[in-house]
Amino acid sequence: MSKFGEVIRNENLLSVMMVALALGGTVTYSSTAKAQSAISQEMEFSVPAQPLTESLAEFGVQSGLQISAHGDVVRGLTANAVKGKMTAEQALQQMISGLGLVYEVNQDGTIMITPVKAAGQSKTIDAIHVTGAKSIDRHAGNADRSDTIYVTDGDLARRNPTDVKDVFSGEASVSVGGAMPSTQKVYVRGVEESNLAVTVDGGRQLNRTFHHTGNNLIDPSLLKAARVDPSVAPADAGPGALAGSIAYETVDVKDVLEEGKNFGGFVTASYDTDSQTFFNSDVVYGRYNGLEGLAFFKWGKGDDYSDGDGNQMLGTGTDLRTMLGKAGYESSNGHRFELSVEHVDDDTGRPFRANIGAISGLANNLVRDYILKRTNVVFNYNTENPTDMFNPHVTMAYSRAELDVPVPWGSDSETVSISGKIENDFTLSPNNVVTAGVDFYFDANKYTDPSTPEIEEEANNFGAYAQARLRPFEDLGLSFGGRADRQRFTGLDGSEETNSGLSGNASVSYDIIKGLTVSAGYSNVFGGIRLAEAFIFNPGWDYSADSVDPTRAQNVTMGIDGNYQAFSYGGSVFLSDFKNARRAHYTIGPARKYDFMTQGYELYGRYDWKSGFVRASFTDTQISIDDGLDPDSDNTQYLGAPLGRIFAVEAEHSFDNLGLAIGGSIDAALENSKTNVDGYIALDLYAEYQPEGYEFLTFRIEANNITDATYADRATYGQEFPTVTPLYEPGRSFLVYMKAEF
């Protein structure tokens, strides 16, 4: 084993380190006065979960090793706790696990912390994604994040996603059904995303247009990270987090512009052989003094794809345009203001019922236009130099989803949400923080056609909340909080109903032994009245005939996570119980509602080596509905999905001396006897290369669904009905991709 060098203890280490971080320079974590032994020597470590800057300082003191990292690399990250007797190598790996970082031993014996790189590359692949050093989650490492799923910049670069399904590839507990971006819906532990708090850059997302389309049309090319809080969400996740939350974050200039440069950009191009789809994106970004800006444009054009049997899936072509503009300003004393404007436009022929391939016996199995647009405008403010009592976060957002279906009735719908929040983190001590704030939303869902004057439902909500994240003992983490919401709902006929509700949550994590943590969480959440789908609005609805009641959900989760050297593993059990989940119906009326429950368990395991990893996850998720209804994909619409048993595998290996990385993923499901749906297995492979001396170029080739399986993702509608041809996933296809940076 190689040896770490000799170093000298710096008695004023922590203070010097923090000053250097504030200046944004390179930080060195000094160590003891005497030469230390090899990396393989065992010693006692006791470093709590805390900001990574502090953990590395304590690690340097306890190990006697010299560790260096640029301030931008480690700022804002929370390290994992390290406790017990182990080698320095094991302790450091455990500390930075999951943060998108690696360590390198220099010739002089010092250790350098750097972002994850593609093998043999001098910088991270795909600069559109954050380097891994900037976390979107300032609360990482707390008890309420025990179950959290993070999709990092490294994950996105590795997966090279073309749709939201690719974003969550390898995560069995997150399913995405629908095959096309315009029809995709996300399910977390079997619960449909309309029952979660979904945000983009902190802005509330709302889409209640048509059950044959997706909820949120998101182009993953814009993303730098995503976070999923399944089941139990904290109070500051926002209103409507009935069974968790999903937070998407788009790229900032500071995420893509190399240190020391004021201007940059890149172009990408890709081609898919199955659908003959071509994508092109162009990005420029820059900064001057405290000002910064980013402009992103992408367009895609392609034909219908074919399934694994070679059958053309009508209405699956591509005609997509995406735009993102960001402007920011950071003052000399750390006040940061940012405005982002995002727009996604999908306009082409789709199946008559966009999320269904065909229905036998119906004459309308045709292709018709679906014009789908989503716009998101978000303003954010925070400070890069917070104090213990002043660490504000302000968000104001406007989002709009539009769907125009000209044939056969000239239908036009629009869902609008105006939302905002003002909150502050109060740091009582380094590991004890209370977040408190207020938030609001104004939601409106509108529908019109030539024979129907514009009709709409509205919901206004004001909420106040607080969440405490504490670590009373080194091995014990606590998180608990509550929120109070008051909602006013307005029906199509102008009738109003006001409801108020309290929500509460509590989570605990405990390190029972070295490398083994148990956790549990509970929440009871008021969700208010959810707006109905615009395309089923009926001007004749009588809201006084039956009350439209607010939805409430209870969630319970328990889990265990461990690691031993290069292995990490874990599992959890979960349950979400909904009351009065609204499912309005055109003829039955606006107040139809169901009680339903999802429950199950999940397992995962991962093994890392110097140049790669392999990870597997498995979930068994069941859904049940009251009144003895069958839990099929029709009865569970806008509630959840009958997922059953799903597993996912991801792996990658890098050849350091070649600049080459190869990897792949498996998406599979076992037979679901309750819905009489067969199982499937799909294998994707890829290779990515950056030529030595030309690191500004990236080449990638993918072989997707290489076994040419004919299957629909388990979360896709209709596959259990004999009269329905579901929207099958594409058959075997090859994708070539190139990127050039400047």
Q: Is 166 helix (H, G, I), strand (E, B) or coil?
A: helix
Radius of gyration of the chain (CA): 25
Q: Do 648 and 152 contact (CB within 8 A), yes or no?
A: no
Give the model's pLDDT for residue 678: 93
Taking the alpha carbons at both ends of the chain, their separation in whole angstroms is 39
- Over the chain, what is the mean pLDDT? 88
Cβ-in-10-Å burial (0-12, 13-18, 19+) of 267 comes to: middle
- Write out pLDDT tens, residues 262-320: 999 999 999 999 999 999 999 999 999 999 999 999 999 999 999 999 999 999 999 99
| Strand partners for 697 | 740
Query: Which of the four pLDDT bands, split at 50, 70 and 90, describes residue 108?
Result: low
Distance in angstroms (rounded) separating the CA atoms of residues 178 and 6 = 57
For residue 541, pLDDT beyond 60: yes
CATH topology of domain 246-741: Maltoporin; Chain A (2.40.170)
Query: Which of the four pLDDT bands, split at 50, 70 and 90, describes residue 107?
Result: low
- Write out pLDDT tens, residues 572-581: 999 999 999 9
Query: Which of the four pLDDT bands, split at 50, 70 and 90, describes residue 431?
Result: confident
- Write out pLDDT tens, residues 375-410: 999 999 999 899 999 999 999 999 999 999 998 889
Give the model's pLDDT for residue 67: 80
* Mean pLDDT, rounded, for 464-482: 96
* Mean pLDDT, rounded, for 134-146: 81
**Residue range 13-115, CATH number:** 3.55.50.30
Q: What share of the chain is helix, strand, coil (3-state, %, to 5)?
A: 10, 55, 35
Q: Do 355 and 340 contact (CB within 8 A), yes or no?
A: no
What kind and span of H or E run contains 356?
strand 356-359
Give the model's pLDDT for residue 532: 95
Give the model's pLDDT for residue 54: 79
Give the model's pLDDT for residue 70: 59
To the nearest 10 degrees (0 to 180), the angle between helices 52-63 and 13-23 is 140
Distance in angstroms (rounded) separating the CA atoms of residues 408 and 352 = 10
Give the model's pLDDT for residue 132: 36
To the nearest 10 degrees (0 to 180), the angle between helices 52-63 and 88-96 is 180
Cα–Cα separations (whole angstroms), residue 504 to 235, 485, 501: 7, 12, 10
For residue 12, pLDDT beyond 70: no
Distance in angstroms (rounded) separating the CA atoms of residues 598 and 631 = 10
Cis (ω within 30 of 0) for the bond into 392?
A: no
Give the model's pLDDT for residue 16: 34
Q: Do 668 and 705 contact (CB within 8 A), yes or no?
A: no
For residue 123, pLDDT beyond 80: no
- Write out pLDDT tens, residues 574-631: 999 999 999 999 999 999 999 999 999 999 999 988 888 999 999 999 999 987 789 9
- Write out pLDDT tens, residues 26-77: 444 443 333 234 466 788 888 887 778 778 888 888 887 878 775 556 666 7
Query: Where are the chain's structural domains?
Result: 13-115, 246-741
Distance in angstroms (rounded) separating the CA atoms of residues 694 and 543 = 66
Residues 6+ positions from 699 with CB-CB distance below 8 Å: 688, 689, 690, 691, 736, 737, 738
Quote the percentage of the chain above a pLDDT of 90.
69
**Residue 41 or 692, more confident:** 692
- Bridge-based pairing of strands 551-564 and 26-29 is unpaired
For residue 138, pLDDT beyond 70: yes
Give the model's pLDDT for residue 109: 63
* Mean pLDDT, rounded, for 101-116: 71
